[in-house]
Amino acid sequence: MALKRCDRLCNVHGLAKLIFLACITLITCGVIVGTILVPLIILPYSRESRFADANCTYLTEHLIAKLPCESKCSKDKSSFPCYSIRVSISQTNQTGMLYENFITFSERHDEPINQCGTAPCLSQAAENVAMTTRFIRTLRKSRSFPCHYQPASKPGGPTPVLLHRIFSRRQATHCIIWPAVAVAAGLSLLVSTYYCAGCTVWTQDKTVIA
């Protein structure tokens, strides 16, 4: 009796059709958003999470060279001073090579020579110099600060160290949960509506066309 009443309500008011379309839209949006967030946030966070928390002490910096900014979108030719920055890691008693964040690490760590601790690339070279000077001055003033080092680093070289993380565990968790909730809710509602109305939801349209 309840199933017949449910079928009648869905077919008369077209409620089932709207629910079907809403569920498909919700599932599609969840899949698309999840696909976008995986390379943007989730994968970078998983690589960042390999760096363990530690405390670092500033040791010294060395000016390697002035490097050109590699920007294909800007017509202005700019440059920035490349400094290699050495720190000591208190937890391991090792010397580390400091990078401002994971982006700087991924772009500069594999360079044979130009392993820059920070790489600001604004349109004006003077602004890049000012930002780099301010960054190093802050490290000198702080002396000791929280950092993140890579335990499984290559032997024989300085340990890679990050000053800041870009993404937090909370951000990564939200990026995983909400698309999954959208897909799960859409699937649950879709199955429930199909159980309620089934294929008979489109019967009325076929009758009108005939």
Spatial separation of the C-alpha atoms in residues 81 and 78, rounded to whole Å: 11
- For residues 87 and 59, the answer to whether their CB atoms sit within 8 Å is yes
pLDDT tens, residue by residue, 112-141: 677 889 988 888 889 999 999 999 999 999
**Rounded to whole angstroms, what are the CA distances from 103 to 75, 134, 190, 202?**
23, 19, 41, 53
Could you tell me where the DSSP H helices lie in the chain?
2-13, 15-37, 43-48, 102-108, 125-142, 169-197, 203-209
Residue range 164-180: mean pLDDT, rounded: 90
CB atoms within 10 A of CB 112: 5
Is the pLDDT reported for residue 86 higher than 90? yes
pLDDT of amino acid 208 = 43
| β-pair partners for 65 | 82
pLDDT of amino acid 209 = 41
Q: Which of 10-24, 43-57, 81-95 has the lowest mean pLDDT?
A: 10-24
State what percent of residues in the chain have pLDDT above 90. 37
Residue range 2-12: mean pLDDT, rounded: 53
Spatial separation of the C-alpha atoms in residues 16 and 200, rounded to whole Å: 10
Task: Calculate the average pLDDT of the chain.
Answer: 82
Query: What single DSSP character describes residue 62?
Result: E
> What radius of gyration, in Å, describes the C-alpha atoms of the chain?
28
Give the residue, 152 or 54, on which the prediction is more confident: 54
Instruction: Specify the pTM.
Output: 0.72
The model's confidence at residue 36, banded by pLDDT at 50, 70 and 90, is: very high
| Residue whose tokens read 């004006």 | 124
Residue range 75-79: mean pLDDT, rounded: 74
pLDDT of amino acid 210 = 42
